[in-house]
Amino acid sequence: MSSILLTGGAGFIGSNLCKALLADERVNRVRILDNFCTGYRQNLAPFAGHSKFELLEGDITDYQVCENAMKGMDLVSHQAALGSVPRSIADPVTSNATNISGTVNIYTAAQQAGIKRIVYAASSSTYGDSESLPKIESVIGRPLSPYAVTKYVMELYADVYARTYDMEFVGLRYFNVFGPKQSPQGAYAAVIPLFMDAVLNHEAPTINGDGSFSRDFTYVDNVVDANIKALFTENSDAVNQVYNIAFGESTTLLQLFQYIREVAGSDLEPAFGPFRKGDIPHSLANVDKAKSLLGYTPGISVKEGLKRAFEWYKENRTYFE
C-alpha cells in the first residue's frame, strides 16, 4: 500500500487522477497539495469525506510547504504548474517561479524525505520548432515560449536528480489533454472547453488562425492511465525516461469543431482570429515507447472523448460559476 502526494490535485488533470488513485487498491492515502491559483475547490468536493483523502493548501514555491507535504509519503505525482503558452508570454517571471523553482522544491523535498519515485507532468511544448512528425521523445527543437522552456527544464532537473541522488523519475509529455473539469473560463482556457461552452451557449467560437493547425488531442482518462502505470511500474527500464502521452492521432482545429458540432447537433459556423504567438503548427505523437515500456493503452479516441466531455459540460453548465 502506498501513500501518494499529488501536487496540483485541484486542477483538471489532477482531480481526475485523484479520483482514480482513491479507487486504487494499492493506495492507502492521497494527499493533495494545491494553492487553488488555477485549481477549483469544487473539483475536490466529491472526495472530502473519503477515508484516504487529505488536502494540504499551500504553494510549491514555498520550500517549507513542500517539506511538510512529503511527510509520510511513498510516491509523488507532480502535476502542479502554471500552464498556457500565452500566460507564460504575458508573465514569464511567474511561470518560471512556479514551474521551475517550484519543481526544484518538490524534487529536493522528496529527496530529503527519502522518496524514491516522482512521476511528473511534462509537455509536448518541449518539441518546440522541431518539424519532424510524428514526435519521438529523442528529437526535440528549440522552445518557442517561456512555458516550453520551463517544462523542458523540469526534464533536465529530473535527469540530474536521478543520477545525483539515485532517484527514479518518469516524465509524461502531455499532448493537448481534454475532458471533464477543464475550465472554459479565463483568458488562458484551452480550445476544447472554449468550443464546447460556445456551442452550448449557441455562440460562434473563434478559431485562432485558419483552422489548419493540428493537434494530438488526448482524453484525460488516457492520461490518468499513463500516470498510474508510471507510479506503479516494476519495469526498471521504464524509469528515468520521458514519454509521449497522447492518442496518436492528428486533428485539425476545423475537424475538431466539426466533431463538436456533430456531437452537439449544432449548425454554428466558427469565426476566425489571428494566430497565437508561440503556437506550433502541427503536433502528433508517436506513443510506441509508452506502450512498450509502461504498457500504456490509450483506449479512448478523440471522438469518443468529445462525446463524453460534451455530456459532462452539458450536465454541469454552472460548475465553474
Pairing of strands 2-7, 75-78: parallel
Nearest residue to 226 (alpha-carbon basis) of 138, 153, 151, 298: 298
Annotated catalytic, 147? yes
Contact 83, 147 (CB under 8 A): yes
Q: At what angle do helices 302-315 and 253-264 cross, to 10 degrees?
A: 50
| Environment class of 62 (CB within 10 Å of its CB; exposed 0-12, middle 13-18, buried 19+) | middle
**Do 283 and 176 meet the contact criterion of CB atoms below 8 Å apart?**
yes
Q: Please classify residue 22 by burial: count the beta carbons closer than 10 Å to its beta carbon, then call 0-12 exposed, 13-18 middle and 19+ buried.
A: middle
What grid cell was written down for 67?
517539506
Assigned C-alpha cell, 61: 514555491
Strands 214-215 and 251-252: antiparallel
- Amino acid, res. 36: F
Q: Are strands 177-178 and 53-57 parallel, antiparallel or unpaired?
A: unpaired
- Selected catalytic residue, list 40, 127, 147, 174: 147
User: Helices in the chain by DSSP H: which ranges?
Assistant: 12-22, 41-44, 63-69, 85-90, 92-96, 102-113, 146-165, 191-200, 220-232, 253-264, 288-289, 302-315
Number of C-beta neighbours around residue 65 at 10 A: 18
Burial label for 187, CB within 10 Å (0-12, 13-18, 19+), is: exposed
Q: Report, as residue numbers or ranges, the catalytic residues.
A: 147
